[in-house]
Homo-oligomer: A and B are copies of this chain.
Amino acid sequence: MNMFDITTTPDDVVHARERIRDRIRLTPVMTSDDINELLGIEVFFKFEHLQETGSFKLRGATHAVSLLSDDCPGVATHSSGNHGAALARAARTRGFQCHVVMPDSAVFSKVDAVRRHGGQVHSCAPTQSAREAGLDRLTEQGYAPIPPYDDERIIAGQGSCALELMEQVPDLDALVAPIGGGGLISGLALAVQSAPRPPRVYGVEPAGADDTARSLKAGQRVSDHDPRTMADGLRALVGQRNLAIIERDVLEVFTVSEARILEAMHLIWTHLKQVVEPSGAVALAGVVNRPERFAGMRLGVVLSGGNLDVEGMLKNLESSS
Docked-complex contact A266 and B316, CB < 8 angstroms = no
Residues of B within 8 A of A262 (CB): 314, 317-318
Minimum C-beta distance from A28 to chain B (A):
8
Residues of B within 8 A of A309 (CB): 320
Docked-complex contact B317 and A230, CB < 8 angstroms = yes
Residues of B within 8 A of A49 (CB): 273
> Does A274 have its Cβ within 8 Å of any Cβ on chain B?
yes
Tell me how many chains of this kind the complex includes: 2
Residues of B within 8 A of A306 (CB): 273
Docked-complex contact A265 and B314, CB < 8 angstroms = yes
For chain A, the count of residues having a C-beta within 8 Å of the partner chain is: 31
Docked-complex contact A320 and B312, CB < 8 angstroms = yes
* Assembly CA distance A258 to B321 (angstroms): 10
> Does A310 have its Cβ within 8 Å of any Cβ on chain B?
yes
Residues of B within 8 A of A270 (CB): 109, 310
> Does A180 have its Cβ within 8 Å of any Cβ on chain B?
no
Top 4 A-B pairs, shortest CB-CB distance: A230-B321, A316-B316, A273-B306, A273-B275
A273-B274, A312-B316, A313-B317 given; 15 more Cβ-contact pairs under 8 Å = A49-B273, A54-B273, A258-B321, A262-B317, A262-B318, A265-B314, A266-B314, A269-B313, A269-B314, A273-B275, A273-B306, A274-B274, A274-B275, A275-B275, A316-B316
